[in-house]
Amino acid sequence: MKRLQNINDRLDALDMHILRVLTVDARTSMAELARAVGLSAPSVTERVRRLEDAGVVRGYAAQVDPRALGLALSAYVRIRPVPGQLKRVADVLAGLDAIVECDRVTGDDCFIAKAHVASVEELEALIDKIMPYAMTNTAIIQSSPVKRRLPPMSKTELI
């Protein structure tokens, strides 16, 4: 069997099928996964281990609905630090529990952060903690017509 040495090695069709099944339900048993992809349980277990060792599969996590935690409002916050405050803004963002993910980006803004809060008042308080060091532009999420999913795994999937 071909062994992935690192994340940049090529995946075959079976690897991609395994990833698709695990993305839908990461709790799928090895026996169920084997049936889904047409392999034996030991073979699929070895492939999953290989994908993990190569860093293709980085982990497994529960998906928690923020609304179930009382966080009814989700927003994207675009952040443009004032000159000299880039590191400070990154530190402030890392310290805010309501920020669930943040990316440093190119363009006019330096960061785009996603936040979950209980109310508009909490969103305002969150923004107030950033404002001494940056300008912000906030967009409240109304709905998510495309849920988080795998990126394209082949050139034919790019379209």
Digit-coded pLDDT (tens) for 95-110 = 999 999 999 999 999 9
CATH topology of domain 66-140: Alpha-Beta Plaits (3.30.70)
pLDDT at residue 105 in the model:
98
Predicted confidence band of residue 2 (pLDDT cuts 50, 70, 90): low
Tell me what the pLDDT averaged over the chain comes to: 92
Distances (CA, A) of 153 to 82, 93, 102: 39, 32, 24
- Among 102, 139, 103, 145, which residue's Cα sits nearest to residue 123? 139
User: pLDDT for 26-51, tens place per residue?
Assistant: 999 999 999 999 999 999 999 999 99
pLDDT at residue 1 in the model:
47
- Report residue 92: phi and psi, to 5°: -60, -45
- DSSP structure string for 83-137: TT-HHHHHHHHHT-TTEEEEEE-SSS-SEEEEEEESSHHHHHHHHHHHTTTEEEE
CATH topology of domain 1-63: Arc Repressor Mutant, subunit A (1.10.10)
Q: Using an 8 Å Cβ cutoff, are 87 and 102 in contact? A: no
Q: Which two tokens stand for residue 149?
A: 């999913």
User: Is 71's pLDDT higher than 80?
Assistant: yes
- Distance, CA of 109 to CA of 131 (rounded, Å): 14
Domain ranges of the chain: 1-63, 66-140
Distances (CA, A) of 124 to 25, 97, 107, 143: 36, 14, 24, 20
- Distance, CA of 118 to CA of 112 (rounded, Å): 20
* End-to-end Cα, the chain, rounded Å: 31
User: pLDDT for 104-130, tens place per residue?
Assistant: 999 999 999 999 999 999 999 999 999
> Parallel, antiparallel, or unpaired: how do β-strands 73-81 and 111-117 relate?
antiparallel
Chain centroid offset of residue 101 CA: 8
